């Protein structure tokens, strides 16, 4: 090891008061570099302080002595990259050259700094983690599948390969199981044809049931419009009006009672008419004077014979035109009489049916095929009568041969017994009755009785 003796240096003279000491510009450093500090190789030991001869002069400062000490240190290369301060100041030590103080101090302690770039830290990436997790899952499921197969074989034995393949096949279609159609058992019925009459009939093949005949008389009356025409003898307009009575008292208007239209045309009642309380009635009227002035359309009428306070409650109104003032008048036609009679008979039949139902005993039934009727009296104007409205009165008598249901069931049970069954061994549902023949004069009917058989 070569030691170079440092030459003594004189203390620089202090600057004068007026002289200014130039200041060195601050050093510019590049961005810091990350260093990895490792034990230096090789290591250069600093010379011991005892080998340095002390200066004779006590006037040298500490910095100058340190500089002489550092000048004796051997020149070493710092491995790696140099810092900016080393690039500017740390040159190989030579005659009269100085090392940076930080480096010199470290060399004196036997330390060496090796500057190296930091190596990047490697870590596991996400794809590797995912692959590892997938591998673990495959192992778990494989172990579970193997365990399931082992348990199945221990419990059921080794299955047939073909059968096992058919069971686990993903493309196997489900078997179509045919649903059997419900078996509908034929309905069992029983039937018998009986003779029902008011009196005992001669012995025959059909059972005979004695019954009774009910009678009821009904009567009704109703007004109708005439739609026919006839030559007018006096050429007066005629028609019908509806008389309204909104009071609680009934009135009777005599013939020729006056009705004046809203246009001032005078009409008179042709016949006396009873007006019910809180009701209305249709009546025929004729114009007071002949001529076409009586041919008016629908209108309202006041009754001048009533007091002023009653005219708002009792009045007349028409829903059809008056006619006949021009030479023709309304008349009753044959079609008018037929329609009136049919309408009246339908109303009387409804009333008679209610009366017959009220006269039935327990177990008796009335069917419309065994109900007959006849006219007792008919009151109506003759065909061609010159009137705009007419009244028809009809009296009728209705008769009904009733059917006793208990007797019909006994006859059905006897027929079932004759066919090989036992009387009382079965029961029957509701009876279905069909009238096959009816002798009105002899009041004798043949009736087919049918019912479903219900076993006990």
Six-digit token string for 394: 């009809």
Predicted local distance difference test score (pLDDT) of residue 271:
93
Distance CA(2)–CA(336), nearest Å, equals: 164
For domain 233-326, give the CATH number: 2.40.30
Query: Which one, of 116, 46, 47, lies nearest residue 78 by Cα?
Result: 116
pLDDT by position in tens, the chain (length 456): 434 444 445 454 544 444 444 444 444 545 554 544 445 444 444 444 444 444 444 444 444 555 554 455 444 444 444 444 444 444 444 444 555 666 666 666 655 444 444 455 455 457 778 888 888 888 888 888 888 888 877 777 666 666 655 555 544 555 566 666 655 456 688 899 999 998 877 667 788 999 999 999 999 999 999 999 887 666 788 999 999 999 999 999 999 999 999 999 999 999 999 999 999 999 999 999 888 888 899 999 999 999 999 999 999 999 999 988 877 778 999 999 999 999 999 999 999 999 999 999 999 999 999 999 999 999 999 999 988 899 999 999 999 999 999 999 999 888 877 665 555 567 889 999 999 999 998 889 999 999 998 865
Contacts of 61 (CB under 8 A, 6+ apart): 11
Tokens of residue 379, six digits: 């009151």
Quote the pLDDT of residue 98.
58
Q: How distant is the alpha carbon of residue 160 from its chain centre?
A: 53
Q: Could you tell me if 324 and 235 are in contact, meaning their C-beta atoms sit under 8 angstroms apart?
A: yes
Please check whether residue 238 is in contact with residue 388, taking contact to mean a CB–CB distance below 8 angstroms: yes
Q: What is the DSSP letter of 206?
A: S
| pLDDT computed for residue 141 by the predictor | 84
Asked if residue 41 has a cis previous peptide bond (ω within 30° of 0), the answer is no
DSSP 10: P
Task: DSSP letter for 429, please.
Answer: -
Are 409 and 423 a contacting pair, CB within 8 Å?
Answer: no
The label of the residue with tokens 């008598």 reads: 397
Q: Find out whether 209 and 411 touch, Cβ atoms under 8 Å.
A: yes
CA distance 207 to 100: 151
pLDDT at 155: 77
Can you give the pLDDT at residue 102?
A: 66
b/e code 117-154 from CB counts within 10 Å (16+ = b)? eeeeeeeeeeeeeeeeeeeeeeeeeeeeeeeeeeeeee
Nearest Cα to Cα of residue 229 among 72, 6, 385: 385
Question: In what side-by-side order are the strands of the sheet with 213-225?
Answer: 213-225, 389-401, 371-379
- Strands 432-439, 444-455: pairing kind: antiparallel
pLDDT digits (tens, 9 = 90+) for 8-46: 454 545 444 444 444 444 445 455 545 444 454 444 444
- CA distances to 180, 251, 316, 317, 407 from 257, rounded to whole Å, are 85, 12, 12, 15, 63
* Model-wide pTM > 0.75: no
How far CA 44 is from CA of 73, 108, 112, in Å, comes to: 9, 9, 8
Q: 76: alpha, beta or left, given left = phi > 0 and alpha = psi -120 to 50?
A: beta
């Amino acid at each position: 090891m070569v030691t170079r003796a440092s030459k003594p240096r004189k203390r620089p003279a202090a600057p004068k008061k007026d002289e200014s000491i130039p200041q060195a510009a601050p050093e510019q450093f590049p961005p810091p570099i990350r260093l990895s500090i490792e034990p230096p190789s090789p290591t250069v030991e600093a010379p011991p302080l005892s080998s340095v001869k002390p200066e004779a002069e006590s006037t040298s400062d500490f910095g100058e002595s340190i500089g002489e000490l550092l000048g004796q240190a051997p020149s070493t290369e710092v491995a790696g990259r140099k810092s900016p301060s080393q690039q500017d100041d740390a040159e190989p030590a030579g005659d009269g050259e100085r090392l940076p103080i930080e480096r010199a101090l470290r060399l004196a302690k036997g330390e060496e700094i090796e500057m190296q770039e930091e190596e990047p830290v490697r870590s596991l990436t996400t794809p590797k983690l995912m692959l590892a997790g997938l591998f673990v899952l495959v192992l778990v499921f494989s172990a579970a599948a193997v365990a399931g197969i082992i348990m199945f074989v221990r419990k059921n034995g080794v299955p047939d390969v073909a059968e096992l393949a058919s069971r686990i096949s993903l493309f196997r279609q489900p078997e179509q199981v045919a649903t059997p159609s419900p078996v509908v058992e034929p309905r069992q019925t029983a039937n018998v044809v009986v003779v029902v009459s008011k009196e005992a009939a001669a012995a025959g093949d059909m059972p005979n049931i004695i019954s009774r005949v009910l009678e009821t008389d009904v009567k009704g009356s109703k007004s109708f419009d005439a739609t026919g025409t006839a030559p007018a003898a006096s050429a007066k307009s005629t028609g019908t009006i509806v008389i309204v009575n909104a009071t609680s008292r009934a009135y009777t208007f005599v013939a020729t009672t006056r009705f004046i239209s809203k246009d001032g045309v005078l009409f008179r009642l042709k016949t006396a008419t009873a007006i019910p309380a809180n009701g209305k009635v249709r009546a025929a009227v004729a114009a007071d004077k002949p001529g076409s002035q009586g041919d008016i359309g629908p209108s309202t009428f006041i009754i001048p014979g009533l007091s002023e306070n009653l005219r708002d409650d009792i009045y007349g109104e028409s829903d059809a035109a008056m006619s006949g003032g021009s030479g023709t008048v309304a008349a009753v036609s044959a079609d008018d009489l037929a329609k009136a009679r049919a309408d009246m008979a339908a109303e009387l039949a409804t009333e008679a049916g209610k009366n017959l139902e009220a006269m039935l005993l327990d177990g008796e039934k009335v069917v419309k095929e065994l109900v007959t009727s006849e006219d007792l009296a008919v009151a109506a104007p003759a065909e061609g009568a010159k009137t705009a409205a007419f009244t028809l009165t009809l009296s009728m008598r209705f008769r009904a041969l009733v059917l006793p249901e208990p007797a019909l069931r006994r006859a059905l049970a006897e027929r079932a017994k004759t066919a090989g069954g036992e009387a009382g061994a079965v029961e029957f549902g509701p009876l279905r009755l069909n009238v096959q023949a009816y002798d009105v004069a002899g009041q004798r009917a043949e009736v087919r009785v049918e019912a479903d058989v219900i076993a006990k």
